[in-house]
Structure 1
Amino acid sequence: GGWRPGIELEDVHMAVESRLHHHIGDLAGKLHTARSRNDQVATDVRLWLRRRLDLLDGELAALIGVLLDRVEADGRTLVPGCTHLQWGQPIWLGHQLLAHAWALSRDRERIADCRKRVNRCPLGAAAMAGTPHPIDRLYTAGLLGFAGVVDNAMDAVAARDHLVEAASTCAIAMTHLSRMAEELVLWSTPEFRRVRLSDAWSTGSSIMPQKRNPDAAELVRGKAGRVFGAVQALLTLVKALPLAYNRDLQEDRPPLFDAVGTTRACVRVMTGCWAELEVLPGPELRGDFLLTTELADYLASKGVPFRQAHHVAGGLVKRCEERGQDLSSLTLEDLQAAHPAFDADALDRLDPESAAERRTSRGGTAWAEVQRQVSRLREQLPNLSGRAV
């Protein structure tokens, strides 16, 4: 049977000392020499948080890896790139997935940076003023795997900014996860029809048999607000607290645990969703006016100032709308009537795949650029924060 400390023992530290006393008698009373529960609790929280940050970092790396796998498997699906949810330009699906991967990579950078401040040992600060006993705080910190100590004893027991920072880091990550979740919700609708979620990550309806509801993605989207609330709770808790320790700080753990735990769970859910969904064929992109920018860029390549080229291309859109047609109906005569710089090769620009492949600037949607970014992100996966994941 396991050891079950009684409720008469105030906390885990008293419970450990009591258990030790059971085995070795009064000598156990020396355990608390040069210690206070103030610095013990501060140390416990840092140990817990350091481990959870490492776990979260690894889980984010796994999600990025799944996105990169998806880019390599389905990234050459041509889709409309949108602004304001309106079709803008043709892009490879991989280009959009990489935008999410880079955002998550920055979350890992924030975790690594936050970890540096978490990884300082408060132990030995005692209540707030240090101790007259000849202890070696650096030695103790090393035994516990810390990179160093919190230099000021009062700061060591009073500081909670590293908890706020960790929760804020989680909140920023949740904004990225919620954006990914929103796209899954949209992309799985009949209107977008870009992905089909697996049965494992969607649910049916109790009354409408045909429904496939994106519940997992919706829950991730909703839980972002919960993590934002945890940050606010921590900020409100530590606001204007006098130095050093106050019992108010007992309330720092619930929002911290919730923020970190919720974020980790949401990362794992997103990983499952992306690993198991099916990417559907892209829509027909030759209609509508998705390639209008190609005409403006064509004129600009001929030396026409882009503002003028933009105006000319907009006029062609208006002409097509008045005729009830789209850009594919334009003839060379139509183009040259709008501007004499148009030549026969301008019609070749009205091809969605070629349009995507012409975006060769660094970070563009051209497939070679997509592949370059995949390689860069894969190089970062194992060791972004200086530790093996």
Structure 2
Amino acid sequence: MTKLWGGRFQGGPSEALEALNASIEFDWRLAPYDLKASAAHARVLYRAGLLSEGELSQILGAINELHTEVADGTFVATLADEDVHTALERGLVEKLGDVGGKLRAGRSRNDQIATDLRLYCRDQAQALRANLLGLIAALADQAEGLASAPAPGFTHLQHAQPVTLGHQLLAHAQGFRRDVDRLDDWDRRAAICPLGAGALSGSSLPLDPQAVAEELGFTTAAENSIDAVADRDFAAELLFVCSMIGVHLSRLGEEVIFWASQEFSWVVIDDAFSTGSSIMPQKKNPDVAELARGKSGRLVGNLQSLLVTLKGLPFAYNKDLQEDKEPVFDSLDNLELLLPAVTGMVATMRFNTDRIRTSAPTGFALATEVADWLVRKGIPFRSAHEVAGEVVAHCESTGLELHEVADADLRAISEHLDPSVREVLDVEGALAARSTHGATGPKSVAVQLERINEYLNRQ
């Protein structure tokens, strides 16, 4: 019998319970972390006088062997093992006999799984962070070549004011930068070690949770043993960060989908990041962008799933917490697939800058420039806004763009609209004027690029 809890039972679990209760099919990926924590625990048992030097050497040797065997697939778990902890203890006992069973002293599966999952999440968060930095770099590289390229800016998906394409791309980069910062901030709270909390009350054995924490790369040991085994804030918070990344990817994907449409024709997505149709030979579909948009729902759903699981749980450990791992694994797995694909799509997109430049002033996008020009002449903005709106109304009734209105018609609308207003009815001039901190003008975008590249170089 491999179960870790069989002593007081007269019979084994039913097949139905065994199938329901087992987590080995999904928690086996935690085996390397369980073995790492087991080695740290063995050293603490040795320092407490609960293992001899020879027993410690045997256990550490067997743990190293299991690391290799798990990695190459020669040691595998079975459904009878129930979970990753049971499987690995079986492996130790098979190698060492009773000496292998000594490692269980002073710990519980409750503090083991809380420790294993934290170790896994912290490792995976670093990989996620690296992928995000790669995407930020791809956006910055594209923005550098498009820092002065005019484009329509949108609010409500309507033409609003001209912007530069570089500015638009860097707007997405800022969101992903915040995601990196959130991961760094998350890690500060996740770097607390539960091992030593036991089932919920600590241990009467002379263990050293702080030493274990330091060996495993945590900042400190948990302050409260009940909280240590019950807390899954770190998992929920990581899923929130994953959800925000998903939302940012979805918003980027949505814009790329628009840009790649026939109606926009702003970008051409590289063949390496597009698919076709099984019936329409002309089709080139933005599947990477669509999957980025689609998977955001899955990422948000995983967060909601865990929060609902946690909301009614009493302290300390409850079997409901077996449901914490699959949402975390699923979100991290999907982002590991998605981020490199989105990065590749962004890095290889080709922008049709001539077409985009032509559409930059359309939709009366320079109307605000007229209002600002009047303000610089001392007109209150309330009045300037009304005058600029009247010019737009005239354009709509005559089918003209702003720069096509005759001088006489401008003067008829307002005595303040002399011919010098034409100096702001130019996209390049309007962009150049927006040079304040964070604005869309080429000079400001150059500063943004410098700062984002400095940020990337610090990582």
Query: Are 1:261 and 2:333 an aligned pair?
Result: yes
Which one-letter code corresponds to 1:280 in the other structure?
N
Question: Where does residue 52 of structure 1 map in the other structure?
Answer: 124
Question: Where does residue 162 of structure 2 map in the other structure?
Answer: 90
State the secondary structure of the residue aligned to 1:89: strand
State the secondary structure of the residue aligned to 2:416: coil
Question: C-alpha offsets along residues 117-176 of structure 1, whole Å, 9 cap, x if unaligned?
Answer: 111100000000000111111110111011111210010001111111110111111111
Distance in 2 between residues matched to 1:350 and 1:108, nearest whole Å: 40
Distance in 2 between residues matched to 1:194 and 1:279, nearest whole Å: 6
Question: Where does residue 368 of structure 2 map in the other structure?
Answer: 293
Question: C-alpha offsets along residues 220-269 of structure 1, whole Å, 9 cap, x if unaligned?
Answer: 10111011110111011111111111111111111111122223322222
Cα offset, 1:283, TM superposition? 4.0
Distance in 2 between residues matched to 1:378 and 1:120, nearest whole Å: 32
> Which of the residues 221, 230, 235 maps onto 2:302?
230
Question: Where does residue 279 of structure 1 map in the other structure?
Answer: 351
Cα offset, 1:203, TM superposition? 1.4
Cα offset, 1:107, TM superposition? 0.8
Bigger Cα displacement from structure 2, 73-82 vs 178-187 = 73-82
Question: Where does residue 346 of structure 1 map in the other structure?
Answer: 421
Which one-letter code corresponds to 1:79 in the other structure?
A
Residues 50 and 34 of structure 1, relative CA distance in 2, 3 Å threshold: same
Question: C-alpha offsets along residues 3-60 of structure 1, whole Å, 9 cap, x if unaligned?
Answer: 2344433322223222222333312221011110100010000000001111111110
Which one-letter code corresponds to 1:258 in the other structure?
D
Question: Where does residue 188 of structure 1 map in the other structure?
Answer: 260
Distance in 1 between residues matched to 2:371 and 2:276, nearest whole Å: 46
Question: Where does residue 29 of structure 1 map in the other structure?
Answer: 101
Partners of 1:68 and 1:374 within 8 A in 2: yes
TM-score, with structure 1 as normaliser: 0.95
Question: Where does residue 161 of structure 1 map in the other structure?
Answer: 233
Taking every aligned residue pair, what percent have the same amino acid on both sides?
44
Partners of 1:43 and 1:122 within 8 A in 2: yes
> Which of the residues 54, 70, 76 maps onto 1:4?
76
Distance in 1 between residues matched to 2:189 and 2:361, nearest whole Å: 53
Partners of 1:332 and 1:347 within 8 A in 2: no
Query: Are 1:105 and 2:177 an aligned pair?
Result: yes
Distance in 2 between residues matched to 1:331 and 1:5, nearest whole Å: 82
Distance in 1 between residues matched to 2:277 and 2:436, nearest whole Å: 46
Distance in 2 between residues matched to 1:62 and 1:257, nearest whole Å: 22
Cα offset, 1:382, TM superposition? 4.5
Query: Are 1:41 and 2:116 an aligned pair?
Result: no
Cα offset, 1:286, TM superposition? 4.4
Which one-letter code corresponds to 1:60 in the other structure?
L
Partners of 2:162 and 2:361 within 8 A in 1: no
Q: Which has the higher helix share?
A: 2
Which one-letter code corresponds to 2:429 in the other structure?
S
Bigger Cα displacement from structure 2, 320-329 vs 115-124 = 320-329
Partners of 2:159 and 2:362 within 8 A in 1: no
Question: C-alpha offsets along residues 326-378 of structure 1, whole Å, 9 cap, x if unaligned?
Answer: 21222333323322333432111111111111111211011111011111111
Partners of 1:294 and 1:349 within 8 A in 2: yes
Partners of 1:121 and 1:141 within 8 A in 2: yes
> Which of the residues 288, 291, 297 maps onto 1:219?
291
> Which of the residues 371, 381, 384 maps onto 1:309?
384
State the secondary structure of the residue aligned to 1:88: strand
Question: Where does residue 359 of structure 1 map in the other structure?
Answer: 434
Question: Where does residue 248 of structure 1 map in the other structure?
Answer: 320
Instruction: Tell me which of the two structures has the higher relative contact order, counting C-alpha pairs closer than 8 angstroms and 6 or more residues apart.
Output: 1
Gaps of 5+ in 2: 1-72
Which one-letter code corresponds to 2:155 in the other structure?
T
TM-score, with structure 2 as normaliser: 0.81
Which one-letter code corresponds to 2:420 in the other structure?
D
Query: Are 1:140 and 2:212 an aligned pair?
Result: yes
RMSD: 1.5
Distance in 1 between residues matched to 2:78 and 2:287, nearest whole Å: 42
Q: Could you say which structure has the larger radius of gyration?
A: 2
Residues 54 and 294 of structure 1, relative CA distance in 2, 3 Å threshold: same
Question: C-alpha offsets along residues 100-122 of structure 1, whole Å, 9 cap, x if unaligned?
Answer: 00111111111111111111100
Residues 347 and 5 of structure 1, relative CA distance in 2, 3 Å threshold: closer
Distance in 1 between residues matched to 2:77 and 2:352, nearest whole Å: 57
Bigger Cα displacement from structure 2, 317-326 vs 328-337 = 328-337
Query: Are 1:115 and 2:187 an aligned pair?
Result: yes
Partners of 2:146 and 2:164 within 8 A in 1: no
Partners of 2:243 and 2:299 within 8 A in 1: yes
Residues 270 and 5 of structure 1, relative CA distance in 2, 3 Å threshold: closer
Which one-letter code corresponds to 2:351 in the other structure?
V
> Which of the residues 296, 314, 318 maps onto 2:393?
318
Query: Are 1:170 and 2:254 an aligned pair?
Result: no
Q: What does residue range 7-18 of structure 1 map to in structure 2 within 5 Å?
A: 7-18=79-90
Partners of 2:147 and 2:446 within 8 A in 1: no
Distance in 1 between residues matched to 2:332 and 2:189, nearest whole Å: 17
Count of equivalent residues: 384
Cα offset, 1:325, TM superposition? 1.7
State the secondary structure of the residue aligned to 1:381: helix
Partners of 2:149 and 2:357 within 8 A in 1: no
Gaps of 5+ in 1: none
Distance in 2 between residues matched to 1:355 and 1:93, nearest whole Å: 14
Bigger Cα displacement from structure 2, 178-187 vs 81-90 = 81-90
State the secondary structure of the residue aligned to 2:253: helix
Question: Where does residue 20 of structure 1 map in the other structure?
Answer: 92
